[in-house]
Amino acid sequence: MTISTPIDVPGAFAASYGAQGAEARTWLAGLPRLGGELLDRWELRPDGPARWGMASLVLPVRRPGGEPAALKLQRLREETAGAADGLRAWRSNGIVRLLEHDESSAAQLLERLDASRPLSSVTDEETALGVLAGLLARLTAVPAPAGLRGLSDIAAAMVEETPAAVPALRDPDERKLLETCAAAVAELTGEAGNRLLHWDLHAGNVLAGEREPWLAIDPEPLAGDPGFDLLPAIDDRWEAVTSSGDIGRAVLHRFDRLTEAVGADRRRAVGWTLGRVLQNGLWDVEDGKDRLEPAQVAIARTLLDHRR
């Protein structure tokens, strides 16, 4: 048996990822060897400096025939477990192509896109919003494959967790807001839907491509209502919202544009967007915070004021 040459893990990635806890550090410890083994197994050669996000390390590589690709290494978690099934179900339409997948480690070999040109580098707000709306419409039109985690379970768990989380918030208005979001979700648990959702489609998760101008990356798929997929495209590029001078109007403009694009029922889109605000709030409390993010509060209040 040949022993693979371990990959180099950039120190900055190790520092940011390692700060996420003990499990993250255990995964990091095995990463040089895992990367080396996958390079050997898929006959890849490194081709440039690594990139990374909050949750993964991505190495530009070339396949034996010279084709450029990207090796994405990420920890196997509930959120990443369905990524390969989702990518296969989308059949590369509007989203990065999956070339290889290692089920035991959740590693993916992906078609190479232009990492130097994320949609977040496009400064024109309407252009970026239009691209996000178009991709969301196409991605959420696909039925979810069987066996994927579903929004109905996630929604039920959030509603159940809310009463214990609320007292951690300092501001009584924010407590009330989180309760209102949970009540909206409780009303919708019977209408959770079964489309294939990306779950994290913001401008940083869209890269320029060649076979299509823009392609989505980084899905954490789940089966659900398209309305649950809008928030990352609403709270993203938040400076554009605050600098517009009218936060409510800018939020509604994004919400209406996205809701229309995905053909979502407006009532459900409001309710499920409040559900995403709830999810973010519950995570913040879990992380020890006692305030909600101002962007989340502004979005929830705007939608509640315009509920019809």
Ligand X SMILES: Nc1ncnc2c1ncn2[C@@H]1O[C@H](COP(=O)(O)OP(=O)(O)O)[C@@H](O)[C@H]1O
Single-letter code of the amino acid located at 247: I
C-alpha distances in angstroms, 194 versus 59, 146, 153?
A: 33, 10, 12
Neighbours of 300 (CB within 10 A): 26
Residue 205 is a binding residue for Mg ion (CB under 5 A): yes
Q: Which is nearer to Mg ion, 6 or 204 (CB)?
A: 204
**With CB cut-offs between 5 and 8 Å by kind, which of Mg ion, ligand X, none does residue 55 bind?**
ligand X
Residue 236 is a binding residue for Mg ion (CB under 5 A): no
Q: How far is the CB of 95 from Mg ion (least distance, A)?
A: 13
Q: Which stretch binds Mg ion (CB under 5 A): 51-59, 89-97, 163-171, 276-284?
A: 51-59
Q: How far is the CB of 113 from ligand X (least distance, A)?
A: 4
Residue 218 is a binding residue for Mg ion (CB under 5 A): yes
Residue 73 φ then ψ, to 5°: -110, 125
Structure-token match 């648990």, residue found: 189
Q: Which is nearer to ligand X, 53 or 150 (CB)?
A: 53
Paired tokens of 7: 């990959």
Considering CB under 5 A, how many residues would be counted as binding Mg ion? 3
Q: Which is nearer to ligand X, 49 or 172 (CB)?
A: 49
**Nearest residue to ligand X, scored by beta-carbon proximity:** 53
CA distance 174 to 182: 12
Q: Which is nearer to ligand X, 56 or 140 (CB)?
A: 56
- Burial, 78: exposed, middle or buried (Cβ in 10 Å; 0-12, 13-18, 19+)? exposed
Q: How far is the CB of 114 from ligand X (least distance, A)?
A: 7
Paired tokens of 223: 């089966």
Q: Does residue 255 contact residue 269 with C-beta atoms inside 8 Å?
A: yes
Question: Does 200 qualify as catalytic in the annotation?
Answer: yes
Burial letters for 15-29: b for 16+ Cβ neighbours within 10 Å, e otherwise? eebeeeeeebeebbe
Query: Which residue among 200, 225, 236, 284 is the active-site one?
Result: 200
**With CB cut-offs between 5 and 8 Å by kind, which of ligand X, Mg ion, none does residue 223 bind?**
none
**DSSP-derived secondary structure letter, 48:** S
For residue 167, the Cα-to-chain-centroid distance in whole angstroms is: 28
Residues 6+ apart with CB under 8 A from 38: 44, 71, 73, 102, 105, 107, 109
**With CB cut-offs between 5 and 8 Å by kind, which of ligand X, Mg ion, none does residue 110 bind?**
ligand X
Residues of this chain that bind ligand X (CB under 6 A): 51-56, 58, 70, 72, 96, 110-113, 115, 205, 217-218
For residue 254, give the 3-state DSSP assignment: helix
Q: How far is the CB of 216 from ligand X (least distance, A)?
A: 10
**With CB cut-offs between 5 and 8 Å by kind, which of ligand X, Mg ion, none does residue 234 bind?**
none
Q: Which stretch binds Mg ion (CB under 5 A): 46-54, 74-82, 142-150, 157-165?
A: 46-54
Q: How far is the CB of 299 from Mg ion (least distance, A)?
A: 21
Binding site for Mg ion (CB under 5 A): 53, 205, 218
Active site residues: 200
